[in-house]
Amino acid sequence: MIAPLAALALVATACSGSDGEDPVPADKAGAAADEPQAIVSLSPTTTEMLYAVGAGDQVVAVDERSDFPSDAPVTDLSGYTPNLEAILGYGPDLVVLTDDNADIVAGLERSGVEVLQLPAAQTLDETYTQLEQVGAATGNIGEAAELVSEIQTDIDGIVASVPERETPLTYFHELDDTYYTVTDATYVGEVYSMLGLTSIATGDDTYPQLSEELILEADPDLVFLADGQCCGVTPETVAQRPGWDGLTAVREDRVHVVDEDLASRWGPRIVDFMREVAAIVAQIPADQPANQPAP
């Protein structure tokens, strides 16, 4: 289900008069209804969303970690340690961000800049809603709706391409070489679940650190390395870990480096991650017995 459009309700506007001060003059209200012409993005995911809905021409600056698309105007702005004066230096009429670090939202509002804050999505449905919000805030409502529809169609096709199994294959999604991972209750866990996989990690902590002993005992069918780009972990180095050469995933060449940017961003390119994983899963015969997750 796609949540109804509620973007404008979430766009904090310093000139909206919502703080109980002077009402907004008619000419100001008219100007506020116009599409923003100078957008600053302070996170890689919001940058990808802005370009995906067709607002790229309105973007004047993105943070230092926004590496997609390649023509995004990358600057030294930081979303982790935002500098108000540096952001204002780009003359934004809208700032889109993920986290309110250093109370930057209040600072921008005091400066008369509209802010759209999009926290990390917990589900695909939340991704769809956020894309609609970005579309509404930037004057690209139709483009956003079309994009959401395309993503849903693509995902339906990807899911249908994966063989059905009586017992889900198990996986270990390695976030770093100290064995932090994800459960099925996370955003990426939902993606894996849709493709017929279940995590060896369970419990209330959705990003737990597993012991090496537990991983070896669980013997996952698949290992996905989301620490290849950051930390240089490879299937070969995994196989050299003590005891890991006995894992089913290692013996069957099912240890795969995945694009950690795609796996960690909840934007439109989640489709690419799903397609990448689905291609891996589809190679495993549906009638092949799956290992059971550790209790």
Higher pLDDT, 1 or 99: 99
Average pLDDT over every residue of 41-67: 98
Residues of the chain with CATH 3.40.50.1980: 39-153, 165-283
**Per-chain mean pLDDT for the chain:** 88
Q: How confident is the model at residue 21 (pLDDT cuts 50, 70, 90)?
A: very low
Q: What is the pLDDT of residue 288?
A: 61
Whether 19 shows a pLDDT value over 70: the answer reads no
197-244: pLDDT as tens digits: 999 999 999 999 999 999 999 999 999 999 998 889 999 999 999 999
145: left (phi over 0), alpha (psi -120 to 50) or beta: alpha
DSSP the chain: -PPPP-HHHHEE-TTS-TTSSSPPPHHHHHHHTSPPSSEEE-SHHHHHHHHHTT-GGGEEEE-TT---STTS-B-S--SSS--HHHHHTT--SEEEES--GGGHHHHHHHTT-EEEE-PPPSSHHHHHHHHHHHHHHHT-HHHHHHHHHHHHHHHHHHHHTSPP-SSPEEEEEESSTT-B---TTSHHHHHHHHTTEEES--SS-SSPBPPHHHHHHH--SEEEETTHHHH---HHHHHTSTTGGGSHHHHTT-EEE--HHHHH--STTHHHHHHHHHHHHHTS-TTSPPPPPP-
Looking at CATH, the fold of the domain delimited by 165-283 is given as Rossmann fold (3.40.50)
Whether 1 shows a pLDDT value over 60: the answer reads no
Question: What's the CATH number of domain 39-153, 3.40.50.1980, 3.30.300.160, 1.20.1080.10, 3.40.1670.10?
Answer: 3.40.50.1980
Q: How confident is the model at residue 33 (pLDDT cuts 50, 70, 90)?
A: low
Q: How confident is the model at residue 287 (pLDDT cuts 50, 70, 90)?
A: confident
Average pLDDT over every residue of 189-196: 96
Q: How confident is the model at residue 263 (pLDDT cuts 50, 70, 90)?
A: very high
pTM score, whole prediction: 0.84
Residues 6+ apart with CB under 8 A from 129: 2, 3, 6
Q: What is the pLDDT of residue 166?
A: 87
